[in-house]
Amino acid sequence: MTKSKVSIIIPHYNGIEVLSECLDSLFQSTYPNIEVIVVDNGSSDDSVDWLKINHSQVIVIENDKNLGYAGGCNTGALAASGEYLLFLNNDTIHNPDFVELLADFLDLNSKVAAVQPKILNYFHKDQFDYAGGAGGWLDVLGYPFARGRVFLECEIDSGQYDKIRPIFWASGTAIMVRKMVFDAVDGFDSVFFAHQEEIDLCWKFYLLEKEVWSIPNAVVFHKNAVTLPMFSKRKQYLNHRNSLLMVLTNFSLPLTLYITPIRFSLEFVAILYSLIYLDLKHFFGILHALFWIFLHPHVIFRRRKLVKKIRRIKDKRILRHMYWGSIVFDYYLRKKTLSSDIISE
């Protein structure tokens, strides 16, 4: 029986040594039917020449400028010939069977649009990685967390999240999707550039009445924040802006009108908090995000139009897959630092 073809798409921007380790690991894969596509986002080093010399089997796509994770992945998807697309960060290494485990699950479950492996930290291999853990959740106010990670608290992996189960979002660090469904929702929203575009994508899958699952027996190790430093102003800006974009556009209008004032009040609390602790990168990042939102109503309108086009189920059903509560309240006031304290396994 011929295995479904998997197109592995790696957006890349500088760092030959990081990409080299990723590809060396990837080519140890036990899965027999893959193609590897590296999308170079305008690297200023010799990445493209190095690829052509050292990995002639890799399909190389050269962008003139940095289109970010979202734009780079979309470019790769256009060139992909596989039934499944595996979007993969360039700062990862992998267990040899991880592609096989993900693809086999999709083969057997037609209602599932996307899956992710367990993502552990590259430097502390017994610890969940910040970027996705063992599968992501979202509270109704638009704040993400994951099995194994709540805000900056990353748990030690002791097998507590080894159950294969549905999740709300799969991490862009390593997410495998059905190409047909990816195309049906117009792929990643390139406006996001980077950060939370995978959450938005998975939300759209649920709007289409599809599912997203975590497959923790597949394992990937991630270096985290190699491309964009963890506490940079730009990262803060993108996280807040993109989260607000989802809240303003992915809910039905009545629920949007109900949730938006609560969410914006929390943004202002975050501004005050950052000022008290003199966290100026966070402060200016949030301000930048709020100004962008107010100056781009046309983007909000365009996104709401797309959501209306693809929506097949009402919010009431989608909310069953979200956390009906506030992760901010639970973490900072109720001192719940473990995702297992919040989401039952």
Worst-scoring range by mean pLDDT, 48-52, 210-214, 333-337?
A: 333-337
Task: Name the token pair of 96.
Answer: 């040899």
- In a 10 Å sphere around its CB, with 0-12 CB exposed, 13-18 middle and 19+ buried, how is residue 345 labelled? exposed
Least Cα distance to 11 among 79, 104, 98 occurs for 79
pLDDT, average across residues 181-190: 98
Q: Which residues of 223-254 are buried (b: 16+ CB within 10 A; e: fewer)?
A: bbeebeeeeebebbbbbbbbbbbbbbbbbbee
Q: Calculate Rg over the CA atoms of the chain.
A: 19
Task: Say what the pLDDT of residue 338 is.
Answer: 87
Judge whether residue 230 has pLDDT over 80: no
Q: Which has the higher per-residue pLDDT, 181 or 336?
A: 181
Pairing of strands 59-62, 149-150: unpaired
Please tell me the predicted confidence (pLDDT) of residue 2: 85
Delimit the domains of the chain by residue range. Answer: 6-222, 233-312
The answer to whether 330 touches 226, Cβ cutoff 8 Å, is no
Positions of E strands within 112-184: 112-121, 136-138, 144-146, 149-150, 153-154, 165-167, 174-178
User: Given this model, what pLDDT does residue 1 score?
Assistant: 73
pLDDT single digits (tens) 302-317? 999 999 999 999 999 9
pLDDT at 344: 78
252: pLDDT strictly greater than 80 = yes
* 59 vs 230, residue with greater confidence: 59
For the record, the structure tokens of 93 come out as: 């290494």
pLDDT at position 57, please? 95
- pLDDT above 80: residue 345: no
CATH superfamily of 6-222: Spore Coat Polysaccharide Biosynthesis Protein SpsA; Chain A (3.90.550.10)
Cβ-based neighbours of 9, under 8 Å, separated by 6 or more: 37, 39, 73, 76, 77, 80, 85, 86, 87, 88
Please name the helix (run of DSSP H) or strand (run of DSSP E) that holds residue 39, with its range, or none. strand 34-40
Q: How far apart are the first and last CA of the chain?
A: 35
Q: Which residues pair with 154 in a beta bridge?
A: 149
Model pLDDT for residues 94-109, shown as the tens digit of each residue? 999 999 999 999 999 9
Using a pLDDT cut of 90, give the percent of the chain over it: 92
**Do the Cβ atoms of 274 and 233 come closer than 8 Å?**
no
Q: What is the mean pLDDT of the chain?
A: 95
- Give the tens place of pLDDT for each residue, 143-154: 999 999 999 899
Distance between CA atoms of residues 82 and 210, nearest Å: 20
What local confidence, expressed as pLDDT, does residue 289 receive? Answer: 98
With bands split at pLDDT 50, 70 and 90, how would you rate the model's confidence at 229? low
Looking at residue 343, what is its pLDDT?
A: 86
Task: DSSP letter for 128, please.
Answer: B
Position 203 pLDDT exceeds 90: yes
Tokens of 345: 């396994």
User: Residue 227 — very low, low, confident or very high, per pLDDT cuts 50/70/90?
Assistant: low
- Alpha-carbon torsion angle 274, 279, 284, 290, nearest 10: -30
| Cα gap 100→8, rounded to integer Å | 12
Q: Which tokens in the block code for residue 322?
A: 């979200």
